[in-house]
Structure 1
Amino acid sequence: MTVPLIELCVEGIDGFLAAQGAGADRIELCASLVEGGLTPSLATIRAAVKAARIPVHVIIRPRGGDFLYSQTEFETMRDDILALRSEGVTGVVIGCLTPDGRIDEERMKALVEAARPMSVTCHRAFDMTADAGEALEALIRCGVDRVLTSGQRDTALEGLEILKKATEQAGDRIVIMGCGALDADNIKAVRDGAGLKELHFAALKTVASGMRFRNPHVGMGGTEKDREYELTVTDRDAVRATIAAAKNA
């Protein structure tokens, strides 16, 4: 068995340090995982690169919601990528769709060109396409190095057949990186069931805020008031356990 590469999805510099310390092989650095991951600040990226002993990939996503971007949003994505080429970042994570659920090949090709020589991953925008097989061929044409996918389902276990089919279709042309609620209990089954060489998970837990004063009358950003006093952090123990399970023959 080929020992799989493990990528951890983290939020912020503290998440990065926790995942790196717990044995991750590579990091996808994000902000706002509650929205599925947004582009982190430049200062956060620089801090991660400075502390990094493993490759750092940065998500390029200007907002939450769908992957159908305005022209101005697309231009900010391209400019973010161009800015990162001189920051020591190893790769970027991107995804653009057309209104009918296809890969936006024109924009993806432009972003891949802007990113080189960095590695390029297509994120789970792939899981929102109308036809997984067609989308995979489009990403190959665009020169993308890997695609992150749960097999177009909420979890990798639910999407296992599509993950397996995508891996077979990809061959050596593009890497299929599996994700979707992976943990120590299921990651080996997903690895073996789909023949995956790269796996991705977050291993998050919620902890109480250290704030002693709490205003019960305000919830910021439309969230539940209790959410103001909760933090979502990377669980080092869960990272270690899941990596061990993934690399167990």
Structure 2
Amino acid sequence: MIPLEVCVDADSPAFTSNLEQLKQADVDRIELCASMHCEGLTPSSSAIIEARSIFNHKELMVMIRPRPGDFCYSKRECEAMMLSIDTAASLGANGVVFGALDETLSLHHKNTAALLNRARRQGLTVTFHRAFDAIINPKKSILPLIDMGVTRVLTSGTPWGSGLGADKGLAMLKKLKSAASGHIELVVGGGVTPENAPFIVSSLLGQNKSLVDNGNNGISLHCFSSVLENGVISNDKLSRLYNSCRALSLETQ
């Protein structure tokens, strides 16, 4: 089955109930963020503790982003991010989510490697977040991320800040999937909804739909606002998205 990851806003008044609903729905992963109005920042220790306590059976990914704005970080900011990685690990996270670019909107190899090594020493998986969509040459940049050992890349296949969703980024997503060759998981996020998820997945799998069930498809889905209703997880929307993922698997049997 196509794995489903849901982003959770630690600042939402419905934080606790949303976590409980996601646990009940048995989603595969959650990405824990604060300040979603800033596209997600590092959550507090108390939020990580609560998320781990409630969502205690599947993967908990923690956002590591010290401030809003661009993804070009100073030495001091990188040091702060490393401490946040340590904190996430100590509080039971399974992985962390970060991205680091340089002033030319290229992958910052040194900062990315340093953060990745810190996470790997803590036994954490690593997702390179949608800073990837701000990179000037994403197809070229996925190869060094594979070489470094990054676990996943979160991408819509559309330029960062464009407002376009993954259903408009299929041409780039197909190129990235081909370049990845199964060596890194593409987490397809940005405008993924219960309505367009089947089209997105079917387009990316092409003639290889049979790969859904053996775990070699190399993609997963990420969503946030599309499963919310007034800030609260909608059981109907979440169920429709989850069931659409499941239906793609059943079609191949």
Q: TM-score range by the shorter chain?
A: 0.7 to 0.9
Secondary structure of residue in 2 paired with 1:157 = helix
Deviations 1:119-138 (A, max 9, x none): 00000000000001111112
2:222 — aligned with what?
200
What is the identity, as a one-letter code, of the residue corresponding to 1:157?
A: D
- CA deviation digits over 1:215-234, x for unaligned, max 9? xxxxxxxxxxxxxxxxx333
Which residue matches 2:251?
none
Does the Cα contact within 8 Å between 1:164 and 1:194 map onto a contact in 2? yes
Distance between the aligned counterparts of 1:110 and 1:70, measured in 2? 13
Q: Give 2:215's aligned residue.
A: none
2:51 equivalent to 1:48: yes
Of structures 1 and 2, the larger Rg is shown by 1
- Partners of 1:64 and 1:44 lie apart in 2 by 19
Give the CA deviation at 1:237.
Answer: 2.2
Whether the aligned pair in 1 keeps the contact of 2:64 and 2:81 (CA below 8 Å) is yes
1:69 to partner: Cα distance: 1.4
Alignment equivalent of 1:8, drawn from 2, 6, 18: 6
Q: What is the DSSP-based 3-state SS (H/G/I as helix, E as strand, rest coil) of the residue aligned with 1:184?
A: coil
TM-score by length of 1: 0.85
The CA distance in 2 between the partners of 1:136 and 1:176, in whole Å, is 10
CA contact (8 A) 2:187 2:222 kept: yes
Matched, 1:31 2:34: yes
Q: How many angstroms does 1:33 deviate by? A: 1.2
Q: What is the CA-CA distance between 1:99 and the residue it aligns to?
A: 0.6
Separation (CA, whole Å) in 1 of partners of 2:127 and 2:44: 19
The letter of the residue matching 2:153 is V
C-alpha distance in 2, partners of 1:235/1:135? 36
Letter in 1 for 2:220: E
1:23 shift after superposition = 3.2
Q: Following TM superposition, by how much is the alpha carbon of 1:89 offset from its aligned partner in structure 2, in angstroms?
A: 0.7
Q: Structure 1 144/59 Cα, relative in aligned 2: closer, same or farther at 3 Å? A: same
SS in 2 for 1:247: helix
Determine the C-alpha separation between the residues in 2 that align with 1:204 and 1:246. 14
**Distance in 2 between residues matched to 1:4 and 1:205, nearest whole Å:** 20
- Against the structure 1 CA distance between its residues 158 and 56, is the aligned structure 2 distance closer, same or farther, given a 3 Å change threshold? same
User: Cα deviations across residues 147-168 of structure 1 (Å, max 9, x unaligned)?
Assistant: 0000024201110111111011
Indicate conservation of the 8 Å contact 2:78/2:115, yes or no: no
Distance 2:25 2:38 in 1: 24
1:105 aligns with 2:109: yes
Aligned in 2, Cα 1:81/1:16: closer, same or farther, shift over 3 Å?
A: same
Question: 1:149 and 2:155 equivalent?
Answer: yes
Which residue is 2:138 aligned to? 132
- Which amino acid is 1:236 matched to? N
- How many Å separate the matches in 2 of 1:123 and 1:50? 24
Q: How many residues align?
A: 223
Give yes or no for contact 1:151–1:160 (8 Å, CA) kept in 2.
Answer: yes
SS in 2 for 1:85: helix
Structure 1: which 5+ residue stretches go unaligned?
Answer: 208-231
Match of 2:127 in 1: 121
Residue 171 of structure 1 and its aligned partner are, at CA, apart by 0.9
Check conservation: 1:152, 1:162, Cα contact below 8 A.
yes
Would the aligned equivalents of 1:23 and 1:239 in 2 still touch at CA under 8 Å?
no
- CA distance, structure 2, for counterparts of residue 18 and residue 65 of structure 1: 31
Q: Does 1:188 align with 2:167?
A: no
Which residue of structure 2 lines up, in the alignment, with residue 235 of structure 1? 234
Q: Identify, as 1 or 2, the structure richer in helix.
A: 2
1:68 matched to which residue of 2? Answer: 72
Ranges in structure 2 where 5+ consecutive residues have no aligned partner: 206-217, 249-253
Does structure 1 retain, via aligned residues, the 8 Å contact 2:99–2:128? yes
The residue that corresponds to 1:218 in the other structure is none
